[in-house]
A and B are shown apart, each in its own frame.
Chain A
Amino acid sequence: MVMTTHEEKMRTVRFRVAATPHIVLNSEICRNQCSVHACVYVCPANLFVPLDDGGILFNYEQCFECGTCYIACNQEGAIDWSYPDGGYGVTFRES
């Protein structure tokens, strides 16, 4: 199993899911002011899903907490980014 799908990759990572999301999207901005939707492409965990209405759906549960999305996001304020509560979120075992 050298070549792996994204789902197979994500299955090897352990997440302890916090009760509340640590990243919040302002979907209004995504819908009305952003045509690039860079987050959809760059997120290594593929957590940003474009919606029919031009908005973005975000799933925080499998987040690597890397910060790529808010760096790539060209619209100020569309992504409110922080870390999950202490002890929650991703836990790497070997990387």
Chain B
Amino acid sequence: MRIAVCLKYVPDPSTIEVDPLTGMIDAGRALYMMNPADESALELALRLRPPSGTVTVFSVGPVEADHLLQDALAAGADAAVRVWDDSLNNTKPIVTTILLAAALRVQQLPDLVLCGGHSVDRGSGTVPALLAEYLDWPVVTDVTQFELQSGRMRVQRRLARGARAEGEVTLPAILGLETGLVHLRQASLPNLMRAKHLLITRYGLEELDLSPQDLHFPAMTLHEVMPPRPRARVMFTPDSTKSASERVAQIMSAGVSGKAGKILDSGTPEQQADAILTFLLEQGFLETRA
């Protein structure tokens, strides 16, 4: 059985410092680590690996990501692949996925791909599903447990409000794992030493038979990064035209008035839609009328 694990080198959230004036992250102060969910994925892959099986780790990232892959090799991964091209300056989920899918193909498709469900930096949680699209494989996300039973994978998923769902998926498949299931094992000293000498396979666009055009997705463009600007808080003041007792009552209720809903049961559908739109504009949910 051949297992692939996708790893991401992410900034440790506790080291991320945002300049309050520019809203930019101080890159010189950030320290990087293996994404916690990916760490779980790698440990579970190592536990699942049968004696004749292999675990190969993949990462999309610049040369610094070699640290991450070396840690994975020290923990017991059999091979490591790093995908990067110096023309890349961002790792949008879609770009990451295309690169990962291509690298998985070049390495011959495995029987199982394990991914961390969410990264702590971007956290879109879309890579497992996108990968499923590009490989045309089944995917199960939000996985909390899985077990191999005669060639089929029994999985447990987390649903909303603490509910769980159990199901089965046939291999080859992709699993997106929850964060914090298990911690990565401590590497033995010989493995730690050997990992420094193991070669990490490096793929650029050429080796993956991709052109920059293949990675060009204009669907989303980042125009500007701005610091969050909270809306000014409106202090409650009682209505001065009311009587003293009414004002006291207003203060006592701390400005909370009963939710006065309005039911739109008259007028044409167009008029009702217009009323909703006006309401959203008044409340500031919409900025301009489309």
Chain A interface (Cβ within 8 Å of chain B)? 14-16, 19, 85, 91, 93
Residue of A whose beta carbon sits closest to that of B29? A93
In the assembled complex, the Cα of A16 lies from the Cα of B183 at a distance in Å of 13
B15 sits at the interface (CB 8 A): yes
Residues of A contacting B: mostly? strand
Chain B interface (Cβ within 8 Å of chain A)? 12, 14-15, 29, 31, 33, 183, 186
Whether the pair B183, A14 counts as a contact (CB closer than 8 A) is no
A93 touches which of B31, B33, B183 (Cβ 8 Å): B31
In the assembled complex, the Cα of A82 lies from the Cα of B137 at a distance in Å of 49
Whether the pair A14, B186 counts as a contact (CB closer than 8 A) is no
B186 touches which of A16, A85, A93 (Cβ 8 Å): A85
Contacts of A15 in B (CB 8 A): 14
Rounded to whole Å, the gap between the CB of A80 and the closest CB of chain B is: 21
In the assembled complex, the Cα of A93 lies from the Cα of B28 at a distance in Å of 9
In the assembled complex, the Cα of A16 lies from the Cα of B15 at a distance in Å of 11
Contact flag A91-B183 (CB < 8 Å), given A14-B14, A14-B15: no
A-B contact pairs, 13 of them (CB 8 A): A14-B12, A14-B14, A14-B15, A14-B31, A15-B14, A16-B12, A16-B33, A19-B183, A85-B186, A91-B31, A93-B15, A93-B29, A93-B31
Residue of B whose beta carbon sits closest to that of A13? B14
Residue of B whose beta carbon sits closest to that of A85? B186
Residue of B whose beta carbon sits closest to that of A15? B14
Rounded to whole Å, the gap between the CB of A11 and the closest CB of chain B is: 8
Rounded to whole Å, the gap between the CB of B191 and the closest CB of chain A is: 13
Rounded to whole Å, the gap between the CB of B118 and the closest CB of chain A is: 20
Rounded to whole Å, the gap between the CB of B64 and the closest CB of chain A is: 15
Residue of B whose beta carbon sits closest to that of A88? B186
Contacts of A19 in B (CB 8 A): 183
In the assembled complex, the Cα of A16 lies from the Cα of B184 at a distance in Å of 14
Most B C-beta atoms less than 10 A away, residue of A14, A15, A85: A14
Contacts of B31 in A (CB 8 A): 14, 91, 93
In the assembled complex, the Cα of A19 lies from the Cα of B185 at a distance in Å of 11
Contacts of B15 in A (CB 8 A): 14, 93
The 9 nearest A-B residue pairs measured at CB:
A14-B15, A14-B14, A14-B31, A93-B29, A91-B31, A14-B12, A85-B186, A93-B31, A19-B183
Rounded to whole Å, the gap between the CB of A21 and the closest CB of chain B is: 16
Residue of A whose beta carbon sits closest to that of B186? A85
Contacts of A16 in B (CB 8 A): 12, 33
Residue of A whose beta carbon sits closest to that of B183? A19
